[in-house]
Structure 1
Amino acid sequence: MDMNTTMGAALPDWLTPLAWTYGLLALLSAAVIALDVWARGHRHRTATAEITWVGAALFLGPAALVLYRRYGRQPQPGARPTDARPVVVDSLPGGTASALAHLVGVPLVIASGLTIAGTDLWVMIAVIAVVAIALLAVHERTTDGATTLTAVARAALTVVAFDIGMGGWMLLLHFNDLMRPAADVQFWFLMQIGVLAGLLTGAPAVAALRRTPARLPTAA
């Protein structure tokens, strides 16, 4: 069984218009944030921080606009102390890394034809995790100033915690024959839900990591 196989027959018909509506709202929200950042000049210290906010709209939809307006347009470096932000804001880099990893990993795995135990799901979960770790490590390295080793370690811990929700959601869909083929808009809507599940399971790890500095203070 693979992502090109027609599955998900038990899913309701109304899920298709809902998926299209939410998907279009997500793209529109991402465009609004992108225009605000790159056209209206509300720039951040790093490109990865900017991409995080644009990418967050791909799974949060219009809710990303609310968070961006409240926290994303703060002067850089942020005027608000870290512990004043809700943990969901600090979880957005992981969510964006996962969303972008899906956009890269899903077509890549389908094109490769690789499977494990007769399904490409396991390959897909692994590839998405690796890509997400790489993307998140770049964010940790460039935005938070972590060393490469520290950035990779923090990214790996975050993605593992994140995948409890995201990977668990994908497995739940797969083993209940609810996974749609990747060409179906319902598939991407279900993946958006999975990213949100990942935010929930990854939040404790993110909360713990933000209490630990990404880099040691520089000696005077």
Structure 2
Amino acid sequence: MQMVDRVPDWTTPVAWVYIGLSLAAAVVVAVDIHLGRRRHARVATELVWITSALYLGPFAVPLYRSRGRAAVDAPEATTTTTTTTTTAPAPVSSDVVAAGLPGGGASAVAHLIGVPLVLASGLTIAGIDLWVMILVIGALAMLLLFVYERGTLPLRAAATAAVVTVLAFDVGMGGWMLLLHVNEFMPPATEGSFWFLMQVGIILGLATGYPAVRWLRRTRRTAEPVPVP
């Protein structure tokens, strides 16, 4: 079933400008990390900050500078967590925003892989490929986030963080995709406006995933891409 495009024409130039700014922001963060010698202990953490620009666009740069910029030549490490239950939960600060970025990055990469994969396969459910896209993107995001979390967490905690985070993200991301589809505002994946709208969806996913990430952080069941001072 072909997706119907009723998106206003002005969305196309806005989309390409934002996509261009997003790619530029990703380059800025990557250059600062690698050429600026602000390396983290884990490459996965660096990728979280770079991929954050793929959906946050230019807003990712100030967030990276305030939350994820490591000291020059310092052997930085991400904040690690354990599944040990504590009687006093960890204090929640603004760093919970950064703690949600791995989920956003996993979703962004899952879109880049999953959408072309579904379109190339021609798979549909009830004649609609959107359902397959949502399932494939969700599965890929869980896998990617599990790999990230597994770098610092035990198996069970990493799996819990991945599943809980992605399900919460999908309330915003999947709900946004369904809203676009029902109202016939879903452009073809070959259009820049499609990817721009997916960027908006990932940001909405960050919002709906915030409570889950906050809970995971309070119970020390998630890893944060924040350098140790």
- Cα offsets for 1:51-107 (capped at 9, x unmatched): 00000000001110000010111453369x973334221110000000000000000
Q: Which runs of structure 2 are paired with 1:79-158 in the superposition (5 Å)?
A: 83-142=92-151, 145-158=152-165
Q: What is the Cα deviation at residue 168 of structure 1?
A: 0.1
Q: Which runs of 5+ in 2 are unaligned?
A: 80-89, 223-229
| Percent pairwise identity | 52
Q: Which residue type is aligned with residue 77 of structure 2? A: P
The two structures have a TM-score, normalised by structure 1, of 0.90
Return the alpha-carbon distance in structure 1 between the equivalents of residues 16 and 54 of structure 2: 13
Return the alpha-carbon distance in structure 1 between the equivalents of residues 96 and 154 of structure 2: 23
Q: What is the Cα deviation at residue 8 of structure 1?
A: 1.9
Once superposed, what is the RMSD of the aligned Cα atoms? 1.7
Return the alpha-carbon distance in structure 2 between the equivalents of residues 148 and 87 of structure 1: 22
Check conservation: 2:106, 2:144, Cα contact below 8 A: yes
Distance change (3 Å), C-alpha of 1:82 and 1:18: farther
The two structures have a TM-score, normalised by structure 2, of 0.86
Return the alpha-carbon distance in structure 2 between the equivalents of residues 140 and 132 of structure 1: 12
- Cα offsets for 1:22-79 (capped at 9, x unmatched): 0000000000101111222111111111000000000001110000010111453369
Equivalent residue for 1:199, pick from 186, 198, 206? 206
Return the alpha-carbon distance in structure 2 between the equivalents of residues 189 and 99 of structure 1: 11
Q: Give 1:218's aligned residue.
A: none
Distance change (3 Å), C-alpha of 1:125 and 1:117: same
Q: Give 2:52's aligned residue.
A: 56
Q: Which residue type is aligned with residue 213 of structure 2? A: V
Q: What is the Cα deviation at residue 111 of structure 1?
A: 0.6
2:17 pairs with 1:8: no
Larger RCO (CA under 8 A, 6+ residues apart): 2
Return the alpha-carbon distance in structure 2 between the equivalents of residues 111 and 23 of structure 1: 23
Q: Which runs of 5+ in 1 are unaligned?
A: 216-220
Distance change (3 Å), C-alpha of 1:43 and 1:74: closer
User: Could you list the runs of 4 or more consecutive aligned residues of structure 1 that deviate by over 4 angstroms after TM superposition?
Assistant: none
Return the alpha-carbon distance in structure 2 between the equivalents of residues 43 and 159 of structure 1: 27
Q: What is the Cα deviation at residue 13 of structure 1?
A: 1.3
Return the alpha-carbon distance in structure 1 between the equivalents of residues 54 and 179 of structure 2: 22
* Number of residue pairs matched by the alignment: 208
Return the alpha-carbon distance in structure 1 between the equivalents of residues 95 and 203 of structure 2: 15
Return the alpha-carbon distance in structure 2 between the equivalents of residues 205 and 84 of structure 1: 15
Q: Which residue type is aligned with residue 150 of structure 2? A: R
Return the alpha-carbon distance in structure 1 between the equivalents of residues 9 and 32 of structure 2: 36
